[in-house]
Amino acid sequence: MSSSTTPRIKPPALRPGDTIGIAAPASNVKRGDLEAGCEAMRRAGYRPSYSDSILDQDLYFAGSVERRARELEEMFTREDVRAIVCARGGYGANYLLEALDLEKIKAHPKIFVGYSDVTALLTYFADAAGLVTFHGPMVAKDWAHEDGVDLASWEAALADTTAWEPALGAGSGASGLVEGAAEGILYGGCLSILVASLGTPYEIRTEGTILFLEDLAAKPFQIDRMLMQLKLAGKLDRVRGIVFGEMRDCVQIAHQGYTLEEVVQRIVGQLGVPVAYGVRSGHVTARNITLPIGVRAGLTVRGGQVSLRVLEGAVTEEGKS
């Protein structure tokens, strides 16, 4: 089943005063960063909650696979938790793919937010369980830093039940690479994690999507190689549009004589779909935009300008489907 035909389950909307469960499904977390992020969430009107075991460490992981899987399942089943936001990414979420009880998670649909290594869970929950998930700011990263969260898109994605559009005008960093207009299911995340799914039972489903791709500190030839792998695997054949993130620190050397935009255009420029670049979600310098994964979206690129419209609400009112 393709991502565009997977039935979608939308979680209940997030409201002021709601409890947000914090989970660490990947790398270990520093207490100071976690507390800074939680304090910012309190100022925004939410009640962050986490278990003491979130600070466990096993090598570079946030504790054992069993701890991380149990924590995440408990956050989904806890009646008082309205949304789940990951503390950080790093590495290790792929270990949970075989360890989680997907039926338990599917039976308790909730807002689930993260990016980077958490991409593995965002796409897994979207594809295998049909859940709408959210590519957006994490607690010990973006929430822990001043101006780290784009609150307008956070509130639109997690609280609004109608269509909306992130601000991608002048000063946003977004630009057009290939002109055109298309509609599809918004889908994707960290490029290296998406590519790592190929050949596994958790392989990404890109048919009919507006495919969002972003990464951090990957050299241009590495971005080239990963995009070529997606292309050779047929994962770009039936996408309807492509949106690149900020692609922070994705350079070879300071004065390399070419841009990453030129590199990616060699691969995606002839696909016949609109291509945008610089949408600030995921690994970003500031104001991380929240993007829903699994809902209908429209992409328009004209004269270098970009419009990315979320065509339906990603959440529901309590008790409504």
Is 283 a residue of the active site?
yes
Question: Among the options 71, 73, 207, 214, which is catalytic?
Answer: 214
Q: Are strands 291-293 and 275-279 parallel, antiparallel or unpaired?
A: unpaired
Of 153, 207, 283, 307, which residue is the catalytic one? 283
- For 233-271, b/e burial (b = at least 16 CB within 10 A) is eebbeebbbbbbbbbbebbeeeeeeeebeebbeebbeeb
Would you list the DSSP string of 41-80?
Answer: HHHTT-EEE--GGGG--BTTBSS-HHHHHHHHHHHHH-TT
Maximum distance among all alpha carbons in the chain? 56
DSSP 7: -
Strand order in the sheet with 111-114: 47-49, 19-23, 81-86, 111-114, 133-135, 291-293
Q: Which of 27, 116, 153, 192 is catalytic?
A: 116
* Whole-angstrom distance, CA of residue 261 vs CA of residue 152: 27
- Give yes or no: 71 in active site: no
**Comparing C-alpha atoms, which of 158, 136, 111, 99 is closest to residue 9?**
111
Residue 116 annotated as catalytic: yes
Residues acting as catalytic residues = 116, 214, 283
